[in-house]
Amino acid sequence: MTLATAISPDETVADAEEDFRRAQRRILLRRRLLPFAGVAIFLGIWAALVYLFKVPPFVAPTPLLVAQTLVSKGDVLLANLVPTAIEALSGFFLGNLVAIVIATAFVHKKTLEETFFPTVVLINTIPVVAKAPILVLLLGNGMEPKIAIAALICFFPTLVNMVRGLEAVNPQAMELMRVLSASKSEVFFKLRLFNSLPYLFSALKISASTSVVGAIVGEWIGSNVGIGALIIQATYSFDSALLYATVIVASCFSMLFFVSVTMLERLIVRWQPSNAH
């Protein structure tokens, strides 16, 4: 009996499947370990530079000192994170909701898009640090201007992507809807909105990070609480360990927000290939 006849087809398929699963496990393990390795290398370089150049702690603390500050002042950091998170989330939902509504109006009324889109672009070109004082003067010194700044930052990317997604429908699919005498609402909900979801979530992932930035910038202009206010306080008191810890907390929240939107995209946009996320 030869080797070719000794090995059954079922065994060959089973071996191939096991090799495939083993390769997939290696790829998954690699994807999970490499980011941790990158962070470890970065922290090692940071600690080495501080040690070799004898950098004073008030200029650049060691990673260990920042970690100790995260633990010892965790309650202060979390207390200041709460208002920033509320402002960022509120601005995120408000800005994106308004952008979706306006994008829908632009797609259905081209005159509106031709009239107001240049104005939207002009407003977007104004730096956020210039918009912030104006909004503080208009809305006061509470949460409202911070929410408005976060909403403005989220608004433009979502508007542009949503308009593009609503317009980038398949011509053959649009013609089929016309042949079937579909109403405008049916075309919108069954074709345009469905087609725009990948574009929308691309913008939402950008907004997830920028809304946090907008809330922090708003707190720089005028606030006694929040991550932005804590950054200013730590800077002027030369508490670099607290400054770095505050930035890390803000970054972690922004990353968590981004991951949440990405997971929501995977639940809703199921027809996209996995490597497209």
Measured distance CA(216)–CA(211) in Å, rounded: 9
Could you report the per-residue pLDDT of 98-126, keeping only the tens digit for each? Answer: 999 999 999 888 898 889 888 888 888 88
Mean pLDDT of 70-95: 94
C-alpha 169 chain-centroid distance: 26
Query: What mean pLDDT comes out for the span 89-104?
Result: 95
Per-residue pLDDT reduced to its tens digit, 236-254: 999 999 999 999 999 999 9
Q: Which two tokens stand for residue 98?
A: 């308004």
For residue 58, pLDDT over 70 is answered with: yes
Flag whether pLDDT at 1 surpasses 80: no
State the pTM of this model.
Answer: 0.83
- Say how far apart CA 234 and CA 243 lie, in whole Å: 5
Euclidean distance between CA atoms 213 and 68, whole angstroms = 25
- pLDDT on residue 7: 55
Per-residue model confidence (pLDDT) at position 4? 47
pLDDT for 8 = 59
The DSSP annotation for 49-70 comes to HHHHTT--TTTS--HHHHHHHH
- State mean pLDDT over 125-151: 87
Backbone angles phi and psi of 12, in degrees to 5: -65, -45
Residues 122-140, mean pLDDT to the nearest whole number = 86
Mean pLDDT of 154-182: 86
Which two tokens mark 195? Answer: 């087609």
Q: What is the arithmetic mean of pLDDT over 216-234?
A: 89
Phi first, then psi, for residue 274 (nearest 5°) are: -60, -30
